[in-house]
Amino acid sequence: MELGLFERDALIERLAKRFLAIQGYIVPESYRMQSEKNHPRSKVAVAMALAAIKELELILSEREKDEEDE
């Protein structure tokens, strides 16, 4: 399973903001995480979100393949 472009973009934003919130930072809803190029925390949060999405897609893809093999 792969997310569509808009789904992926929205999920990156949501996860990145959540990762910063876990660390105690408050991020305005209108703030675009992926547009921030210079802030280290934002860049790390976006990288973490991308890694999480890739792992999730891999797990779901493997699950779909296993179900097809049954």
DSSP 39: -
Buried-state track 41-70, b at ≥16 Cβ within 10 A, e below 16: ebeebbebbbebbeeeeeeeeeeeeeeeee
Residue with tokens 């703030």: 31
Q: Are 49 and 24 in contact (CB under 8 A)?
A: no
**Tens digit of pLDDT per residue, the chain (70 long)?**
567 778 889 999 999 999 999 999 998 989 999 887 788 999 999 999 999 999 998 998 898 887 777 7
Here the tokens at position 45 are 């949060």
pTM higher than 0.75, yes or no? yes
